[in-house]
Structure 1
Amino acid sequence: MTSLTHCPAPAKLNLFLHVTGRRPDGYHLLQTAFQLIDRGDVLHVHLRDDKELRRTSDIPGVPEEQDLVIRAAKLLQAEVLRRTGMLPRGANIAVDKVLPMGGGLGGGSSDAATVLMALNKLWNAGLKREELMALGLPLGADIPFFIFGETAFAEGVGEALQAVDVPDCWYVVIEPGVSVPTAQIFTSEHLTRNTPPVNMAAFCSYYSEQRELKQFGKNDLQQVATRLYPQVAKAIEWLAQFGDARMTGSGACVFCAFADEGQANAVLEKARGVWTAWKAKSLKKHPIAAKLI
């Protein structure tokens, strides 16, 4: 096998996101629930005859050497060299970019996770899921989740993951038209960092008992993002007409859950000409994780 094409890199939504503290090294302690959805980027990976790792698609504003897909590929290539004494073949990596940057959907992290899984297969590297998760963590706290590959309750900096079950639904997602830098939100003096921890059992029982599509908890980053970016606040206010609307991640995208596709379509019709919006279905499992690891 010398190539893997049309590899999905799905987006994620944070169903809730609490900041419960801060470590001495500056990293924030979080609790969140990650939900995969059926919209995302698509990657194509082709092995080369040399050892070079190249991105063959242009992504405005992201130099090739800074792209998480290249950095992740280099990490795995170095790990294979360390384990086997042999440097594996290089690769051309093309990214069909769909997800907005700075949207809180995990696009760059998902791309990196898909590259790690694809090259692990193409190079016959044999790394287990947990090993790939650990390899990707230094590049981004969301990368382990995408390799974990299913709905998860997360703690720590986002890397301590446990599988959970939540009801299937459809989401309407609004792109407010701004890119929100994660670091700007986490360094804000307005960010609260003392939300009391919750346990996973409380989260699971909430979804098993409720009859309305109202999300658990809140997103502690939302108050900071809406203060800095009025467009995010406007998107939340507009979408809240139809349900429990909130921001995902550190922003900027905003989502609301609906029981069926028809309800999502009705809201999308109302958003036409007002917002850049789309619908997506929740996913229980990553589309390719089980096939590649």
Structure 2
Amino acid sequence: MWTADADGAARHRLAPAKVNLALHVTGRRPDGYHLLDMLVAFADIGDRVTWRPGGSACRLSVDDRLLRPEPVPVDTSNLAWRALALAGRLGAAPLAGDLTVEKSLPSGAGIGGGSSDAAAVLRLLLTETATDEAFLQAQAVRLGADLPVCLAGRPTRVQGIGERLTPVALAHALAVVLVWPGEGLSTPAVFRARAAEDRDAIPATAIDALAQDPLGAIADLRNDLEEAARALLPAVGHAADALRESAGCRLVRMSGSGSTVVGYFADGNAAAEAADRISAGAPHWWVRAGVLQA
């Protein structure tokens, strides 16, 4: 849902972190794309996207809240810019204005920062148009495999290469701590490092159980990229250990291809206390307590 300034001059939307509750690699297509079966939810933590219409052209600026070795690009390599161009092609009228992305999510983190930014742009600019949802999803997947689920923005089972979406029901929101151990990982590099073994899909019993006991449902599931990510970046394992040693932590799982690790906690107070403790012990890590929305 987007919000507007009191004078209506600007619209704002959260671009939430995308968190994998599970990620199974089930096969590979002849063109090299891996086939996945994933459970995804979205946090109340994210970037902030703002659109201010006006002028005669479109402009993108990035307000980066994190210290990165390289600045976030503002050219066509930025997914938010590419989403702006797509919205311009799909909209009923030419677009002109200023797009600002306030970056609070780390890069190379496995939590879909760029894809979520792009999805927020499309929602901001196309919500009031007559763009067909199925058509929008089909166009968006060309920008990236995570775009369709980020457009959905709710708990979802994702299959194929990211184009097959099935909404799922979580019994309740989940208190979490996200830990990014100060370094990112390249998704292609993680897939290359992974042992070439295709595994089973997520069982239907686990999908059904999400509506009663979400953590119990995913406890026997996995992230098939975690072992490769740990081998490439041992800090992933260190972050996971820090979460497991925290009071109230019930489950730890890496998100996406890493390097963010997610701890699931008994309640929000336990999550906040764990985040404070981990931050104090590793000040160069990005640590956030939050909630995965049901």
TM-score, normalized by length of structure 2?
0.86
- Match of 2:259, SS state, is coil
Q: Which AA in structure 1 matches 2:189?
A: Q
3-state SS of 1:7 partner: strand
| Contact 1:31-1:154 within 8 A present in 2 as well | yes
Q: Does 1:173 align with 2:183?
A: no
Matches within 5 A, 1:228-267: 228-241=232-245, 242-267=249-274
On the 8 A contact 1:132/1:147 being kept in 2, the answer is no
Q: Does 1:131 align with 2:135?
A: yes
- Output the aligned Cα RMSD: 2.2
Does residue 1:278 correspond to 2:288, yes or no? yes
Q: How many residues align?
A: 275
One-letter amino acid of the counterpart of residue 53, structure 1: C
Which letter maps to 2:253? R
**2:230 aligns to what?**
226
Q: Is 1:12–1:34's contact at 8 Å kept on the other side of the alignment? A: yes
Deviates further, 239-248 or 168-177: 239-248
Q: CA deviation at 1:28?
A: 0.7
Identity of aligned residues (%): 32
Residue 196 of structure 1 and its aligned partner are, at CA, apart by: 1.3
After the TM superposition, which of the residue ranges 103-112 and 68-77 deviates more from structure 2?
Answer: 68-77
Amino acid in the other structure paired with 2:101: V
C-alpha spacing 1:266/1:224, structure 2 compared with 1 (3 Å): same
- Aligned to 1:72, the other structure's residue is in SS state helix
**Are 1:145 and 2:149 an aligned pair?**
yes
C-alpha displacement of 1:214: 5.8
Deviates more, 1:236-245 or 1:141-150: 236-245
1:281 counterpart letter in structure 2: V
The 8 Å contact of residues 171 and 279 in structure 1, kept in 2 or not, is answered as yes
Compared CA separation, residues 240 and 67, structure 1 to 2 (3 A): same
Q: Report the equivalent of 1:68.
A: 79
For residue 78 of structure 1, what is the aligned residue in structure 2?
Answer: 89
Tell me if the contact between 1:191 and 1:221 (Cα under 8 Å) persists in the aligned partners. Answer: no
Give the whole-Å Cα distance in 2 for the aligned partners of 1:48 and 1:65: 21
SS at match of 2:202: coil
Kindly state the Cα deviation for residue 183 of structure 1 after the two structures are TM-superposed.
Answer: 1.6
Q: Structure 1: how far apart are the matches of 2:41 and 2:214?
A: 18
Map 1:175-190 to 2 at 5 A: 175-188=180-193, 190=194
Equivalent-residue separation in structure 2 for 1:157 and 1:62 (angstroms) = 26
Q: Give the aligned partner of residue 288 of structure 1.
A: none
Q: Is the 8 A contact 2:215 2:251 kept in 1?
A: no
Matches within 5 A, 1:53-64: 53-57=58-62, 60-64=71-75
